Amino acid sequence: MAQRTAVVASRVGLHARPAMIFTNAVAATGVPVTIARPGGDPVDASSILFVMSLGVPHGEEVTLSTDDGAQQVLDELVTLLETDLDAEDAPTQPAAGAGS
């Protein structure tokens, strides 16, 4: 199992726009990924409802995991989470090559 941690950089945490951008990026990889808050149960990271239900605030560390051993995918998702996805110049689509 591959696992990475990331600190959520978006000012509103993983809510609304940042959650949508993140979950779209996860879905685009085609790799099953989970996300969890410290001490919490992991949820499907491609589901905007599950991700938003976590209530992850700005600055909190989350753990991403996959059974597929797709370390590069997790690296790309960590980079995305550690970007302020609420900024006007934030990406709205997964990075080219995500999941490749």
Catalytic residue numbers read 15
How is the chain classified by DSSP, letter by letter? -EEEEEE--STT-SSSHHHHHHHHHHHHHTS--EEE-TTSPPEETT-HHHHHHT-PPTT-EEEEEETT--HHHHHHHHHHHTS-TTSTT--SSPPTTTT-
| Cβ atoms of 47 and 39 closer than 8 Å | no
The three-class DSSP label of residue 61 is strand
